[in-house]
A = this chain, B = another copy of it.
Amino acid sequence: VQFVDHLEATARRNASRVCVGLDPEPLRLPEPVRARPNAVFAFLNDIVAATADLVCCYKPNFAFFASLGVEGPAVLKDLVRSIGDRAPVLLDFKAGDIGNTASHYARFAYEVIGAGAVTVNPLMGADAVEPFLAWSGRCAFLLALTSNPGSADFQRRKTADGPLYETVVTTSRRWSRSPGDLGYVVGATHPAELEALRGLAPDAPILVPGVGAQGGSPAAVARAAADRQGGGYLVNASRSILFASSGPDYAEAARRATEDLRVSLKAQPA
């Protein structure tokens, strides 16, 4: 099944545009879970079980698995297998390297880990992105305007064709090989730019990080990201859901935080 089709089917079924970021930090795991064997996997598995009927996607960020130690990728692979068909999985890697090397990252994301989509850093240009598009049915989400303060350093630099983040979108549209193979990342902290980028890429899926801990407004995001020609969107929250409670009720608290975000996005069944 195509990633975008799985995404849209899950979004409709659960009437949700919430993507839960699966970013484990061992030092922040709820006390009751720390003593369990394979605590990180057990914790994330509980979060998935508590939220799977309220989300449209899960987004593990590789950094948090890499820092676990050399066994991190195995934990991530087991997690993706455990999520199974309940929701699509977008691997947040921000991969970016030249062609031959990028093809190894694509194999890592899709074959080794089993994700359906991956975030890609477009700085190195077409040949850093195209190996991801060679995998049919997957989706590469290119960083356009990220949610962090540093997005002002380079992404907002003016070029002859507008700010760099717009150039990324307009240039990369030409690289797409089939509908839904190319999406974009636009931070919730930039609702006006999100609306402008939606206009430039009406049919592309858009990943919107930065609500919750980073402060973006869910209502503004939902208005700005709403699809015009079939391009869906997914709004990611990580810490505000994972660590909603540090007590034994962490799973129920995560479910409540997910439901609150789902409702605040005013998601409607299609």
- Which A residues are within 8 Å of any B CB, using their own CB? 23, 61, 63-64, 66-67, 69-74, 77, 92, 94-99, 101-102, 104-105, 107-108, 111-112, 121-129, 143, 146-155, 157-161, 164, 167-168, 171
Are the C-beta atoms of B69 and A112 separated by less than 8 Å?
yes
Q: Determine which of B72, B97, B168 lies in contact with A61 in the assembled complex, contact meaning CB atoms within 8 Å.
A: B97
Distance to closest chain B CB from A161 (angstroms): 8
Residue of B nearest to A143 (CB): B123
Given contacts A99-B148, A148-B98, A148-B99, is CB(A123)–CB(B154) below 8 Å? yes
Distance to closest chain B CB from A71 (angstroms): 8
Top 10 A-B residue pairs of the complex, sorted by shortest distance between their CB atoms: A125-B150, A125-B153, A66-B108, A63-B104, A67-B104, A98-B148, A70-B74, A70-B73, A127-B150, A157-B159
How many copies make up the complex? 2
Q: Which residues of B contact A63 (CB under 8 A)?
A: 95, 97, 101-102, 104-105, 108
Contacts A64-B104, A125-B150, A125-B151 aside, 9 further interface pairs with beta carbons under 8 A come to A72-B73, A73-B73, A121-B123, A122-B153, A124-B155, A153-B171, A157-B157, A158-B160, A159-B159
Give the dominant DSSP class at A's interface: helix
Distance to closest chain B CB from A259 (angstroms): 25
The distance in angstroms between the C-alpha atoms of A108 and B65, with both chains bound, is 9
- The 5 listed contacts between A and B (C-beta, < 8 Å) are A64-B104, A67-B105, A124-B148, A124-B150, A129-B150
Residue of B nearest to A98 (CB): B148
The distance in angstroms between the C-alpha atoms of A71 and B159, with both chains bound, is 43
The distance in angstroms between the C-alpha atoms of A19 and B175, with both chains bound, is 33
The distance in angstroms between the C-alpha atoms of A125 and B143, with both chains bound, is 12
| Most chain B beta-carbon contacts within 10 A, residue among A102, A108, A150, A158 | A150
Q: Which residues of B contact A61 (CB under 8 A)?
A: 97, 101
Q: Which residues of B contact A125 (CB under 8 A)?
A: 148-155
| Most chain B beta-carbon contacts within 10 A, residue among A69, A125, A151 | A125
The distance in angstroms between the C-alpha atoms of A158 and B72, with both chains bound, is 40
Given contacts A67-B112, A150-B126, A154-B171, is CB(A96)–CB(B73) below 8 Å? no
| Most chain B beta-carbon contacts within 10 A, residue among A67, A72, A112 | A67
Q: Which residues of B contact A64 (CB under 8 A)?
A: 101, 104
Are the C-beta atoms of A148 and B123 separated by less than 8 Å?
no
